[in-house]
Each structure stands twice: as structure tokens, then as C-alpha cells.
Structure 1
């Protein structure tokens, strides 16, 4: 069976631009991490229930892969999809830590959608898959498109490719499980200071390397200060020169040459 790679991402920067209902609108640079990925494949099974084989702490119904299946079934009404999931399970070899700000769940969901599209010859475009993926999570469209680097805005649904060299990262994930909604709540209550359109446009045009070299961790990521306020032990893991991905808990920096 073919093995598909679901890559991690880092947020080179993540800034809040405003509010939309209960959501925060963002501008962020997502970049793929080539050295960190989960591996997904379809494997034959005996019973007909939906099966995900892998090391997950959540229930099947809470898993992003299952949610992607439900969204794809709703969108396509595909009988072939039903048949596939009765005869095959999804095996996932996890390397991307959960609750880490690296997009592991979103990447798994996106990869599952692309696997089904390919194996079942559903003929869906990347745009159509991205719309389905958005029902699973705001970060899923980025992984559907498979860009090295992209400016992501809105609540995550606007993905614009940013052409630049793919950088090599060192990633460190402390053993701190973070709730993204909680970090956003703390940001809104204690740190709310959206950037203006001028600053948004400037960031969108600046290369990731320049951002990482010119901005410190709290300048680049609006969620860093609320995260360390909410999770005190996270601060012990922070070291100068590292950046913070998403709502955490992962830190990253450029790999040094040699």
C-alpha cells in the first residue's frame, strides 16, 4: 500500500488583524517542515467499522481523519468511499506531536482527503478539497494546497502561496498540552491589539528568513504572551532565539549550517 506523508508546519509569524463573530482573524506565514511528518496508508481490515490505527489519545469520532471522512461523504455522497472505509482502515504512524501548534491533526485530515481523492478517482480539485477541509479545521486548506510557504489570512481559509526558499528548522515541543481556544480567550481578554492593514501588507511581503532574523518571539507571534501567562511551565522551556508556533507548545529556530 502507498504511504502518504502528512507534513508539519510552523507559523513564522502569527498576528491578529481583527474579529469575526467568535473567531479571531489572522495574518500568518505557514511554512512546511520537511523533516517532520506523519505517515498515512490504507490497510485491509476484517470488521466494517471506521478504523484509525495509530497512537491517538482522542476517540475515533474526535479524530480529524474521521471528521474529514464525514465532510467528504457529505460533499460527494460517494458509495465507493463507504466501501473503501468498510474494507480498509487508515494506519497513521505519528511523528508530529499533538497539541503542539504544528498542525498535525490538520495535516492528517488534508492528507486523508487527498488520498481518498486519488485512490477513488473522485476528480475533486484542490479548491474543492480545501472547501471540504475547512469544515474540519481552519488550517486544513494550507495542507491541501501543499505549498512550501503561504500567507494565511481570514480565519485560515484564505491561503496565498508565498514563493521563497524552504527553510530547515529545528523543532522542540515541551510536554505541555495547550488549549488553543483558551489561549485565544486570554489574548482577547488581556492582550487584544490587532495590527493595521499597513503592517499586514508589510508582513505579507517580507521573507520568512527576514522575519525570523528581525522579530523576537513575542513580536512575531501574538499568542506567545497569552500562552505563557496561561501555562506558567511553558516559560521555563523558552530560550532566547527560538520562535513559537501557533498557540504552542512548540518552539522552533533555523537549523544552523554545518
Structure 2
């Protein structure tokens, strides 16, 4: 095998996101439910005749050397060398990018996770799922979830994962047109950091597609970025609307695709908006 094409990197939504504390090292303790959705980027991998790792698609504002895709590939390449004593062949990586940066839908993390899973297969590296999750964690707290590969109740900094049943529904997602830097949200003095802990049974006993809990980061983001607040208010007329992750995307669950289409038809032209179906398993696992 010399290439892997059309490798999916789906987005995620945080159905709720609570900040329950802070570790001595400054990292925040979280509880959340990650929901995979069927909207995302697509990556293509082609082996090279040398050991270089190259992103062959230009991504404005994302230098190749700092791209999580390349950094993930470098980590796995180094791990393969540690195990075998030699570097595997290099790779050209192309990406069909549709997920927004700074949107809270996990685009960069999902791309990195798909890179680790794809190259693990292309290089015949033989790492197990947990080993790939551990490898990806230092790059980003969301990466282990995408490798975990199914809807999950997450704790810690987001790396302690348990499978969870989530609603079978559709989502309307609005991109408010701003890029929200995660550090600005978590660094705010106004961030709630003591939300009482819940457990997976609390979420599982909640019925319907209306939201459980809240997103503790939303209050900070809506104050710093008024377009996020405007999108939450607008979409809230059609259901429980909330921000995902640290923003900026705003979503609401609806029961059917027709319901999603009806809301999308009314979204103001100044916003990008799209619909997505809930996924219970990562679509790339079928390729593994």
C-alpha cells in the first residue's frame, strides 16, 4: 500500500461542557460529552521515496511546521524509529478543508487524529488505539477522543473517556464569522471553574434532544465576541442553542433533516451555516 485516500476527519460538538476545577499545573478539569457529526475535513496520504513529511495543500494562516497534521506525523514517525531503528518513508498529505479554525468543532484535532490512524496503517506501525491516544494527547486534549472513535463522556482535561449513548438527531451549526482563541477563554477571570460534577448516569437519564447542562465557556466567549452572542440568541428561537467547545460555532439539535433544512433556510446571509447528522462511531474506523 502506497496511499490512503479520502480519509474522513469529522467534526465534534460538545453537548455540554462544565469546568469543575483547576489542576496545580494550570490545566482546567472538565466534564463534557463529545458528539461526532457527519461533517468534516478529508485527508489524503501518499508515501514518498524519502523520509520527508509534507503538507501539499496550502492553508492560509497555518504554517506547515506548526500544523497539527505535520506535528502528529512527526510524532508517529519518531515513535516508529524508536521501535524499529529506522525512519518510515515520508508522506505527502493533502487536505480538503471545510471545518473552520477557532470554531470549537475540533477541526485541527480531528485532522491530527486521522493522520495518526492513517499513518499507523500506511506504515504498518502496529500501534494500538490507546497507544495512539497517548501519542496524540500532548498535541491537543481533543485528539484522544477522535481516536477513541465514538460518542464519549469525557473528564480530566478531556482525555478520560467512556462510551455514552447520545441522541440520534440532526444539528444546525452556525459559524458566526469570528475565530475564538482558546487561551483567551480559559484565561479569563470571569470563567466559572467550580461547576458541580455530574456523572454519566445524569446525562444518560436526560431524555430528548434538548440540552443537558451548559457550556461554562459560553458566558466568557459571548462577552468577548458579540457575534457569538448574536448567533446564540438567533438560533435560540428554534431550540436549545449553545456554543461548542471554546467557540465560536453555535449549534442546536433538531429531530429530522427536514427540521434542519427549515432552520437553515432562515439563517441570515452574513453567517455560514450547515447541517450535520449525529454519528455514533468515527467513519474512519471502517478503514482500520
| Fold match (TM-score > 0.5) | yes
Q: CA deviation at 1:50?
A: 2.6
Matched, 1:227 2:221: yes
Aligned equivalent of 1:39: 42
Bigger mean CA offset, 50-59 vs 221-230: 50-59
Aligned length: 246
Determine which of 175, 178, 200 is the counterpart of 2:177.
175
Gapped regions of structure 2 (runs ≥ 5):
259-288
Bigger mean CA offset, 129-138 vs 68-77: 68-77
Checking the alignment, whether the CA contact within 8 Å between 1:68 and 1:136 is kept in structure 2 is yes
Checking the alignment, whether the CA contact within 8 Å between 2:80 and 2:88 is kept in structure 1 is no
Gapped regions of structure 1 (runs ≥ 5):
none
Checking the alignment, whether the CA contact within 8 Å between 1:80 and 1:120 is kept in structure 2 is no
Aligned equivalent of 2:16: 13
Aligned equivalent of 1:28: 32
Q: Residues 246 and 214 from structure 1, CA distance in 2 versus in 1: closer, same or farther, beyond 3 angstroms?
A: closer
Name the Cα RMSD after superposition. Answer: 2.3
Determine which of 120, 129, 132 is the counterpart of 1:129.
132
Aligned equivalent of 1:60: 64
Matched, 1:152 2:157: no
What TM-score, normalized to structure 2? 0.78
Bigger mean CA offset, 70-79 vs 234-243: 70-79
Aligned equivalent of 1:191: 191
Q: CA deviation at 1:73?
A: 2.7
What secondary structure is seen at the aligned counterpart in 2 of 1:221? Answer: coil
What secondary structure is seen at the aligned counterpart in 2 of 1:114? Answer: helix
Q: Pick the structure with more helix per residue.
A: 1
Q: CA deviation at 1:205?
A: 3.3
What TM-score, normalized to structure 1? 0.86
Q: CA deviation at 1:204?
A: 4.2
Q: Residues 76 and 243 from structure 1, CA distance in 2 versus in 1: closer, same or farther, beyond 3 angstroms?
A: same
Cα deviation digits, residues 129-183 of structure 1 (max 9, x gap): 0000102110000000111x10111001111111344432121111101100101
What secondary structure is seen at the aligned counterpart in 1 of 2:176? Answer: coil
Q: Residues 141 and 48 from structure 1, CA distance in 2 versus in 1: closer, same or farther, beyond 3 angstroms?
A: closer
What secondary structure is seen at the aligned counterpart in 2 of 1:105? Answer: helix
Distance in 2 between residues matched to 1:122 and 1:83, nearest whole Å = 9
Bigger mean CA offset, 15-24 vs 164-173: 164-173
